[in-house]
Every structure is written in structure tokens, then in C-alpha cells.
Amino acid sequence: MAGGSGERFFPLSRQRRPKQLLPLLGDGKTLLEHTLVRCSAVVPPEHILIVTSPPLQQPIAALLGSTIPRDNIIAEPAKRNTAGCLTLAAALIGLIEPDALIAAIPADHYISDTDRFAELLGAAFDFARAHETIVTFGMRPMRPETGYGYIELGTSLGNGFYRVASFREKPDYATAALFLERGTFRWNSGMFVYRLDVFERELGSHAPSFGRAIPLLRQAYRDGNTQLLAKTFGELPNISIDYALMERTTAIAVLEADFAWDDLGAWDAVRRIIPPDSSGTVTIGNVLSLDTSTATLANYAERQMLLCALGVRDIVAVVTDDVVMLCPADRVQEVRRIVEHLRANGMDRWL
């Protein structure tokens, strides 16, 4: 799933180069490339589909070269969130392999241990193959995080698998702290594994508008009917797969995952990936930091430019060639408001 916009990583993340196409981990590789490496340890590259938006189809093809077949980079006719993305993928995969096992993996996450990820993904495939059940990955919380949804563990099914007792929306801080204290809640990673037939059955039962769309989308792909494809997909609700299906179905289990994971949702995630200095400040690029504490100072400008900070604390400062963005460290989840303001006021040149 590579169609996200990464708006909370503005101004580095833009329409033509969103978060998944950025080398945020400091090693020169984009998040999408890291994701492909992880998945290729379990699934051959020719069986990997990348679903993205039309403007990103060509940049992704140029980035990946011959890593995966060009035809495996699929453009969505419209933005319809993860429910639309996975419905479109199901329609296309059904033409290729009706008995498919599918892993739905976001392209823009950080995972520390590729080998452990591959091991647990294999276990999830085995469980989904043997049971008529969708599998999701639950990550053990490391802090009271208000930016993630949570999964409450139910009865143990053995080998790290549990029934899902409930899904919980992004909580306030007090509720997140309570979830952490109880020890029976896991972060919702947004990664899912399922048999194609089970996915289609559950969509039909719990999200019928998506279930009805699959045969029409499949027909459109089979016949090369771009009008039917655009019309059918465009009529789908713009909602996440969690809202559409996962929070409604009972045919779901959670696999507890023990690798370090982060969805890299906003600028505070940088501090969890890149170690801060003794003052608690993270610096990226050409930066001068004096008497600064617990700040994130990131200079991504390609032209000669110095980012200087003196006597500040608890801020995020990001510099690109055309935008400087400042915000308090505790408001990074609101950076999307800047993007919304630019869009609403016709300032698209900055997007």
C-alpha cells in the first residue's frame, strides 16, 4: 500500500514525493525500498503488487527499476483510503491467482528486524491458510501513544495468536496510559494477512458496497474497460479498511509481534529512529545547535543553507529548498493543518 500522502511530514513530504519515497531512515534508501526488501524475504518480487496514486506510478517505476515488474505497480483511479486500495488489489489478484494468500503491508513503516518480520509473516500466512481468519499484527506498546489505534487481546489461540477482543480508536493520553498499564492492548500496525476468498466473503458480509465492487472491478480489468473501473472505484466510500471491515468482522486474529516497529506518522517519529545527542536534540543535515534541548532540527535543503538554533527547546524545525516549518514538539500531529490551509487557500505551489 503506497498511495499515502504523508502530510504530517510536510514540508519534506510533498504530493510528488510523499513519505514512502523519502529516505527517512538516514541510509539513503526510501521507505518503499525497505518495505520491498522485507517482503521479498518471503514473497518473490514478481508476486508483489504496489498500489499507489497515478502521479506516483512513474516515480515509483523509476525508483525501483527492474526490482519488480512494471505491470505490478498499480494506479488507483481515485483516492479511496485503504479499504479501496485493498478492494482494488483483491479484484486484480483474483484474475491472476484465485486461491491467493495476501499480505497487505503499508509501504512507509519502520521495522527493525527483517529476519524476525519474515518469520512472523510466514507464521501469519500459515495460520491464514489453515483457518478462515484474517490475521493482523499487534505491536507491544512502548509508550502511551495517542497517534495509534489499539487492539485488545482476547483468548489465546497458541503460538502468539489471539482472538481480537476489540479495536480501539486513537485514545487520549490518559486512556493510552491505561492501555499500557493493563498490558492486554497492542498497537494496531495496519498490516493484515488473509486468504482472498475469506477477504471477499467478509467484505460481502460487513462492507457490501466494497464486496459488490470486486466482480465489477475484476470485469473492468479483464475487459480493459477504464470507464467501468473509474466509475466503480469512484463510487466507493473513502474509508480505511479498519472502519470498513476489521472492526466489524469476527473472523480475525491478532499475532503478537516482537520486532521494533513505528508507522513514522509524524516528525516525532524521527526521534525514535535517529538517536538524539546529549541535550536530547536530533540534528539532520547542515545544522548549528547552541544551548538547544529536546529539539528536532532537520535541514534537507539541497542548496547551501545553514539552520541555526540558539536557546530553544521542544521544537521541530524543518528546512527544505522552498519552505521552513516550525512547530512545538508536542503539536507535530497537527502539521497536516498547514497542508490543509495551503490547499484551501490556493497555495498549491507549496504542496
CATH code, domain carrying 93: 3.90.550.10
Same-domain status, 225 and 297: no
Q: What percent of the chain has pLDDT over 90?
A: 90
Residue 301, SS3 per DSSP: coil
Q: How many domains does the chain have?
A: 2
Rounded distance between C-alpha atoms, residue 290 and residue 272, angstroms: 22
Tell me whether residue 175 is exposed, middle or buried, using C-beta atoms within 10 angstroms of its C-beta: 0 to 12, 13 to 18, 19 or more: middle
Q: Which domain holds residue 320?
A: 267-334
The number of C-alpha atoms within 13 Å of 205 and in the hemisphere containing its C-beta is 13
Same-domain status, 168 and 244: yes
The number of C-alpha atoms within 13 Å of 350 and in the hemisphere containing its C-beta is 18
In a domain, 316, yes or no: yes
Going by the DSSP 8-state scheme, the letter that residue 63 receives in this structure is: H
**How would residue 5 be classed by pLDDT, with cut points 50, 70 and 90?**
confident
pLDDT, residue 153, reads 97
Per residue in 31-76, pLDDT tens? 999 999 999 999 999 999 999 999 999 999 999 999 999 999 999 9
In a domain, 349, yes or no: no
Same-domain status, 254 and 157: yes
Going by the DSSP 8-state scheme, the letter that residue 171 receives in this structure is: P
Sign of CA dihedral 298, 320, 262, 336: positive
Verdict on whether the full-model pTM lies above 0.75: yes
Q: Which of 227, 262, 297 is where one domain is finished?
A: 262
Same-domain status, 91 and 199: yes
Cis amide bond preceding 69, omega within 30: no
Angle between helices 208-223 and 196-206 (to 10 degrees): 130
Share the mean pLDDT of the chain.
Answer: 94
Rounded distance between C-alpha atoms, residue 94 and residue 200, angstroms: 10
Can you list the alpha helix ranges (DSSP code H) found in the chain?
Answer: 31-40, 54-64, 81-96, 114-130, 173-182, 196-206, 208-223, 226-234, 241, 270-273, 336-344
The residues with which 284 forms a beta bridge, in sequence order, are 298
Closest Cα partner for 4 from 35, 48, 29?
A: 35
Q: What cell numbers appear for 192 in the block?
A: 493484515
Rounded CA Rg of the chain: 21
In a domain, 198, yes or no: yes
Same-domain status, 204 and 317: no
Rounded distance between C-alpha atoms, residue 169 and residue 277, angstroms: 34
Q: Which of 262, 280, 297 is where one domain is finished?
A: 262
Strands 252-257, 134-139: pairing kind: parallel
Which residue do the cell numbers 512513474 mark? 58
Same-domain status, 248 and 300: no
In a domain, 28, yes or no: no
Same-domain status, 170 and 313: no
| pLDDT at position 26 over 80 | no
Rounded distance between C-alpha atoms, residue 97 and residue 83, angstroms: 20
The residues with which 53 forms a beta bridge, in sequence order, are none
Angle between helices 81-96 and 208-223 (to 10 degrees): 50
| pLDDT at position 4 over 90 | no
Same-domain status, 245 and 301: no
Q: Are 11 and 325 in contact (CB under 8 A)?
A: yes
Residue 62, SS3 per DSSP: helix
Per residue in 305-344, pLDDT tens? 999 999 999 999 999 999 999 999 999 999 999 999 999 9
Q: Are 139 and 104 in contact (CB under 8 A)?
A: no
Same-domain status, 126 and 229: yes
**How would residue 282 be classed by pLDDT, with cut points 50, 70 and 90?**
very high
In a domain, 46, yes or no: no
**How would residue 126 be classed by pLDDT, with cut points 50, 70 and 90?**
very high
In a domain, 121, yes or no: yes
Residue 325, SS3 per DSSP: strand
Same-domain status, 104 and 162: yes
Same-domain status, 184 and 166: yes
Residue-wise DSSP of 222-270: HHT-HHHHHHHHHTS----HIIIIITT-SSEEEEEE-S-EE---SGGGH
Same-domain status, 247 and 211: yes
In a domain, 347, yes or no: no
Rounded distance between C-alpha atoms, residue 133 and residue 286, angstroms: 50
Residue 50, SS3 per DSSP: strand
Tell me whether residue 303 is exposed, middle or buried, using C-beta atoms within 10 angstroms of its C-beta: 0 to 12, 13 to 18, 19 or more: exposed
In a domain, 138, yes or no: yes
